[in-house]
Amino acid sequence: MESNTRSIAKAISYRFLGSLSTAIIVFVFSGDLKVSAGVGALDVVSKLALYYLHERAWNHIPFGRAPEPPSPDYEI
């Protein structure tokens, strides 16, 4: 299972790239730097929160995970 800190770091790095591309696309279509910066900022905040929640939810879903071996201290 991933730590909260790792999930946050992944979400931030992913959103930076995603929001940068969104801002560039908005700028290409609108030609307005202020609008594209605003959309990029809103995009980073909303999708950062959604990505983090998505990652944390998937940590509780066992689908596709290999079972963890017992710890060395395990005794029957």
Q: Compute the 3-state secondary structure of the chain and give helix, strand, coil in percent, each to the nearest 5.
A: 70, 0, 30
Q: What residues does each domain of the chain span?
A: 4-58
The half-sphere exposure of 48 on its side-chain side, counting CA atoms within 13 A, is 16
Q: Average of pLDDT values for 28-56?
A: 91
Token duo for residue 57: 């939810």
pTM above 0.85, yes or no: no
Average pLDDT, the chain: 87
pLDDT for position 37: 94
What is the identity of the amino acid at 35?
A: V
